[in-house]
């Protein structure tokens, strides 16, 4: 049950996509656009069941298939019968959409690469265990779980925060300040960046923060945008 106290102004719901096919195969995924596994579909359906009675004012999703699929199943399970409309950030698409939107009959969904997963560079597609055997546990752990160490030709968590956090402040937080209920369907590391900002988590602590697949995380804020409640559904 989402907390609904009188002091609540807005709510933010974060959903990491369900298990992907490469999560299942224990491979580094990053920006390789793989789909959900069968288990991932079940996780997305479960998230939709938990959120079916929530009326979202806006939704945000990364451009990657596994996040889009997760959002798709959440929408299918929703009791909200408004039409979901995706607004793309690519200029040509945005210019040609020519649609202002109607919040009474539509749910606006904003898609952005800034919400995409951390780019794993040369590791993408490699089996994680075989990579540990080749490079050693310590080095692979640093690549995966440090804040500012980059994998070969890839992004660190710090780099991911540097694109995701400004997007959150510019768009998502603006909606929250207006008292909206917002859903974000994205990835472990882009959601870790948002979590770091929302919960004021340190650079030292954030790499160990786990974001479970397919589990809605609900943040509630008061009128001063102070975090007053967090719940995992």
Any bridge partners for residue 104, and if so which?
none
Contacts of 18 (CB under 8 A, 6+ apart): 36, 37, 39, 40, 41, 42, 43, 44, 47, 66, 69, 70, 73, 213, 214
Give the integer Cα–Cα distance in Å for 140 and 105.
48
Nearest residue to 114 via CA among 59, 167, 186, 176: 167
Catalytic residue among 43, 72, 117, 155: 117
Residue 223 bears catalytic tag: no
Residue 162 bears catalytic tag: no
Q: Is 219 helix (H, G, I), strand (E, B) or coil?
A: strand
Nearest residue to 219 via CA among 36, 11, 4, 5: 11
Catalytic residues: 17, 117
């Amino acid at each position: 049950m989402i907390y609904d106290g009188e002091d609540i102004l807005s709510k933010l719901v974060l959903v990491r996509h369900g298990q992907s096919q490469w999560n299942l195969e224990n491979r580094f995924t990053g920006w390789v656009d793989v789909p959900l596994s069968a288990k991932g579909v079940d996780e997305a359906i479960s998230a939709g069941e938990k959120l079916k009675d929530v009326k979202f004012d806006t939704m945000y999703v990364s451009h990657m298939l596994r996040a889009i699929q997760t959002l798709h199943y959440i929408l299918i399970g929703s009791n909200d019968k408004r039409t979901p409309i995706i607004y793309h950030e690519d200029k040509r698409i945005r210019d040609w959409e020519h649609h202002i939107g109607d919040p009474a009959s539509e749910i606006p969904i904003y898609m952005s690469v800034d919400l995409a997963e951390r780019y794993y560079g040369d590791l993408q597609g490699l089996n994680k265990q075989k990579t540990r055997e080749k490079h050693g546990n310590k080095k692979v752990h640093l690549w995966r779980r440090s804040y500012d160490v980059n994998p070969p030709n890839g992004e660190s968590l710090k780099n991911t925060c540097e694109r995701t956090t400004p997007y959150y402040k510019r768009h998502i937080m603006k909606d929250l300040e207006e008292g909206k209920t917002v859903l974000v369907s994205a990835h472990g590391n882009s959601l870790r960046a948002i979590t770091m900002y929302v919960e004021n988590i340190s650079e030292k602590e954030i790499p160990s923060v786990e974001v479970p697949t397919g589990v809605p995380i609900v943040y509630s804020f008061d009128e001063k945008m102070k975090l007053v409640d967090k719940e995992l559904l």
